[in-house]
Structures are given as C-alpha cells and as structure tokens.
Amino acid sequence: MEFANKLTKDDVEAKRVLEVGSFNVNGSMRLVAQPLLPSEYIGVDITEGPGVDEVCDVLSLTKRFGKESFDVVISSEMIEHVYDWRGAISNMKGVLKTGGVLLITTRSQGFSWHCFPTDWWRYEIADMERIFDDFTIEALERDLSAPGVFVLARKPVYFHENKLSHHALYSMIEGKRCTRFDKEKVFLMNIMELCK
C-alpha cells in the first residue's frame, strides 16, 4: 500500500472514520487508519464478515448516518463492484464533513475480471479527475503493482456536487466505455464464470 502514507495523523486523530466495503478479503485499511488514533472507526459492507462493523449498502450511507457525519471516508477495492457508481460516489461525498478527506483505491483497465460479488467498472486517472473536480484532489496516482488508481481528495467549504450522468466509464460487461449497460449480459457472464 504505497498510498498509505498519504493519510495523515492530522486527518485522522480524534476524528470519525468510515470504511466503505470493509469486508476484509485481501487486506484492510483499518490497519492503516487505526494507528493514527481515530475517535471512531466504522466498517460497513453489504454482508457480514471480517472487518464489518455494520451491514450497510453504499447507496444507503447518507440515509443511515446522515449528511456530513464523518471526517474521513475510505473505500479500497470496492467501487468497481457497484453498478450505480454515481450513487455510491454521491453517498460517500455526502457523509463526508466539510474539510474531510475521501480516499479511494480501485482497478483500472487491464486488471482482470474478478467477480466478488460482481465486477462492473474500471477507473482511470482522467475519470477520477472528472469525478472529483468538485473536491480538492491532494493525491492522484496509478497503482504501480497492478492496473489501478488511488485518489485522496478533500471536501471544500463551498461544495457543489458534480453532475456525472453523462460520464462514461470502461465497462467490464460491454468491453468499452459507456454510461450504462444491459444487466442481462451480467447474468450470462455469471453463468459462464460458474461453468469454468
């Protein structure tokens, strides 16, 4: 985790931290954030498991926790698995306090399909620049170990959320950039995956 040093003690100490997609499959950001002494660390995911303090879908964050309720929001290797990525990003931005930081790691084109639970999208540097041009981007880097991207962005005082309805991402289902796709293709891909 080369990006781990981007999260500072000033950002975390005595603050509320939310990890979205906290089910510990291949490592946890909790190990990075907890030594920085947050006042509270809550891990949420869509199912119970290691690292999950509360079951909560990313699309329900603002409903569950309220707007501007966390100082830090972390999401590692989760956002590519959410069909409604716009709603997911909006909810993560929504629960973040003014001046708080949002840290996201995700996969880029060239990273193989990994169905856990479903693999929808790939993000590039340019995508993160567009998605977070309503924030102050403090770090934006490629993952040098595997195709991926890391962003750390701060919520500004005068936040006005981006409209991202026309932004296209690379779809693992369509094999090209698009804004949405036919979910029936996903059913067929899942059947093929089970038959391997």
Distance of CA 182 to the CA centre of its chain: 23
Q: Which domains does the chain have, with CATH numbers?
A: 8-165 (3.40.50.150)
Tell me the average confidence (pLDDT) per consecutive run of 10 residues in the chain, 196 residues long. Answer: 76 97 85 95 96 97 98 96 95 98 94 80 97 97 92 97 95 89 62 48
What pLDDT shows up at residue 1?
46
pTM of the model: 0.91
- How many C-beta atoms lie closer than 10 Å to residue 64's C-beta? 13
What pLDDT shows up at residue 183?
64
- Cα distances (Å, whole numbers) of residue 70 to 97, 136, 146, 163, 191: 6, 17, 30, 23, 39
What pLDDT shows up at residue 43?
97
C-alpha to C-alpha distance for 87 and 31, rounded to whole angstroms: 27
What pLDDT shows up at residue 194?
45
C-alpha to C-alpha distance for 100 and 92, rounded to whole angstroms: 11
What pLDDT shows up at residue 26?
73
Identify whether the C-beta of residue 144 lies closer than 8 Å to the C-beta of residue 114: no
Rg (CA), the chain: 16
Report DSSP state, residue 158.
Answer: S
What pLDDT shows up at residue 185?
62
- How many C-beta atoms lie closer than 10 Å to residue 89's C-beta? 21
What pLDDT shows up at residue 174?
86
